Amino acid sequence: MLMTAGEYIESLRRLNLNLYLLGEKVENWVDHPIIRPSINAVAMTYKLAHEPENETLATTNSPLTGQKVNRFAALFQSTDDLVNKVKLQRQMGQRTACCFQRCVGMDGINAAYSTTYEMDQKHGTEYHQRFREWLKYIQEKDLCVCGAMTDVKGDRGLAPSEQVDPDLFVHITERRKDGIVIRGAKAHQTGVANSHEMLIMPTLRMREADKDYAVTCAIPTDAEGITMIYGRQSCDTRKLEEGDIDVGNYSFGGQEVLVILDDVFVPWERVFMCGEIDFSIMLVERFAAYHRQSYGGCKAGIGDVLIGAAASMADYNGVRRAAHIRDKLGEMIHLAETIHACGLACSYQGWRTEAGNYQPDTLLANVCKLNVTRFPYELCRLAEDIAGGLLVTTPSEKDFRHPVLGKYIEKYLKGVADVPTEARFRMLSLIHAMSFGQIAPSYRTESMHGAGSPQAQKIMIERETDMPRKQELARIIAGIDEREDILG
């Protein structure tokens, strides 16, 4: 069953979340003005699945159910699937101009699928079959899954088992006949309050003493023992005001939540790793490759909107033909397309895992994400440059609507004569929202830390590069090793 956007939103009302925002428990969180834009962004993933022109991108046939399923809950069965994923993510970025939140779950599903298979092959466990049954359930119900990898970590210089407080990494506190009990917290959880299920995963390489921290499992988002604390967004209370101009992107937004797991019970059929420390890093690195690939789609798509906004402001300001404006817009296009090219490249270079699903090229996926830690910053800087200083000094929408003040604003903040002042206001507010972060998480900051900060990518790039071969090539060309005989 493929849910519609409306059916997805109604399905959330049946959840009993323990969710807090600004110090208060939120009862009707589906209609809360700060939260609803993030729900709308996820709903777009359901809408695209019903658009005939996007069927190839947004849906695929499942080898588990034999039915058409939403790509955000699907396995990648070929390099074409990996490519379509990135293209879908770019369109989603174009349609929402924000994080649409389902990529972490999709990437976690595929990483866990191949890792559980290889774990079973080595240890004789039955995790893979459990995972397949759970995934069939997700696909048949068309549920939204939050991939939960990032722990709060505490002292970064200490391993999980060395922390003064053992709960700073999610861990198993009890193994029972019918399942396990877990405790801890997951930070920066993208879209978890808009999801039906959480896929818990370890966050780093584990050692022998860390066995209780090597855990992968699935839990409903409204399971007993879960508390969610909604993350702040820059300018988030603008959404509580009347009007829509000051919000910038009124319809859509992202979501980040701190999730507390206070002795949550998980039945064995939903446990997919339980102490197998030798496979924790495989799961982490495979997930990281998928998620760093993802940024080649979404960040290019969001960049497209920012480029369009900057070009519009150049039109509204009457400077579109200026050589330096055209140069800056050309650079913005180059940056967005470079991000997308890397996402496509690691997809085309993908490889088949032992489990049968496909993994993007790890080296190129990390190159993609390292570019993303830099290029959106420059995209934002150029957009801010083109927009002008009014970007951060505009009066409020209440002033603009004021019977006396509004006439002055209309007169003195006008750009070119044939463009309404309100259009200029709206475009400035959109750039402000995208650059400064009232669309959580901001295009700028999330590009730095999402899917790992720059050093994580540099480590993987160095590790994945065949440096001995590069050195051998240099020695051959230099004549230190025997030169290649072009006639031989």
Q: Give me the active site residues, please.
A: 99, 103, 190, 256, 291, 295, 298, 446
**Gap between the Cα atoms of 353 and 347, Å rounded:** 14
**Gap between the Cα atoms of 329 and 28, Å rounded:** 43
Structure tokens at 368: 């993609």
Indicate the pairing of strand 197-200 with strand 145-148: parallel
Residue type, 17: L
Nearest to 215 by CA among 259, 138, 151: 151
Q: How many residues does the chain have?
A: 488
Nearest to 337 by CA among 374, 380, 299, 365: 299
Return the SS3 of 274: strand
Tokens 């959880």 belong to 189
**Gap between the Cα atoms of 359 and 349, Å rounded:** 9
Burial of 104 (0-12, 13-18, 19+ CB in 10 A): buried
Nearest to 200 by CA among 273, 139, 117: 273
**Gap between the Cα atoms of 104 and 211, Å rounded:** 24
